[in-house]
Amino acid sequence: MWETKIMATLQFLGTSNSTPDLEHGNTHMLLSIDQHNILIDCPGDIIQRILKMHLSMDHITELILTHFHPDHVGGVSLLLMDMWLMHRTRPLTIIANRHTLNGLQNLMDASGWHSWPNFYPVNFVAIEEDIDIHTPIYESPSVKITTTFVNHFLPTNALRFDFVKCGKAIAYSSDTEPCQQFIDLAQGANIVIHEATGASMGHSSAVDAARVATKANADELVLIHYEKRGEELWEMVREAQQQFAGPVYLAYDYQKIEITCKGKTGFLVER
């Protein structure tokens, strides 16, 4: 019904694996809630994508980076520089594990950012290696974001968003092999967003993602970070669907998940 109030949106800005094409940018997304726009990873041409959503760069309040691979952080130094050139004054908070923060700081040092005059404040918040799945890395009256380290080539964080006023939750795997840590983090989530690069070291296939979502008792599965295209992509969804009782969806660039407080899961997914 119309009065269903949308309390947050999670919009996919890219859905591809590391090799994008005309329709699929590298995987990253934007969580919008309570006047905050939290960017999750920043692979590349972020300004164009933000403008396309009728937002300005000043609207980005926090940046969460899942790991220091170029298809997830390749655009961060440009983002930081462009925010400065666009005369940003409000602080930016960057949340990531120490490996990622060190990599980013080295990159920015190499760019000479300390000599850029009137640079806005950047707050680095480190995710410690021993963090447990209940300790928030970000918290507001409406959302709690928690994390776990998953099984990828370097320190990598999966994320869980709990919309506390509604009791709804979304979990995002980032890049990982199927792993118990993510199953624990994602337990009972309404939507599991899982990478489906393909079965290889450090990654998961769509079938792996479906099995993980089943073990996590999720209601819905969204496949992202995929390599396949065309008919092979739909075959991948069909294979995953055979392993998961709930609906399996494919994430598209600019697709938005609307988080509402009503309904069985309360999610309205634009497809």
Binding site for Zn ion (CB under 5 A): 71, 175
CB of 44 to Zn ion, least distance (A): 12
Taking the least distance from each CB to Zn ion, the nearer of 72 and 160 is 72
Tell me how far CA of residue 33 lies from CA of 109, 170, 209, 211, 259, in angstroms.
32, 14, 27, 30, 10
Q: What share of the chain is helix, strand, coil (3-state, %, to 5)?
A: 25, 30, 45
Taking the least distance from each CB to Zn ion, the nearer of 136 and 198 is 198
Helix (H) or strand (E) holding 241: helix 231-241
CB of 109 to Zn ion, least distance (A): 24
Taking the least distance from each CB to Zn ion, the nearer of 62 and 175 is 175
Give the number of other CB atoms < 10 A from CB of residue 34.
12
CB of 65 to Zn ion, least distance (A): 12
Give CA–CA dist 190/266, Å, rounded.
9
Helix (H, G, I), strand (E, B), or coil: what is residue 38?
strand
Helix (H, G, I), strand (E, B), or coil: what is residue 201?
coil
CB of 131 to Zn ion, least distance (A): 21
CB of 71 to Zn ion, least distance (A): 4
Taking the least distance from each CB to Zn ion, the nearer of 71 and 208 is 71
**Closest to 178 in 3D by CA, of 140, 216, 133, 235:** 216
Taking the least distance from each CB to Zn ion, the nearer of 175 and 220 is 175
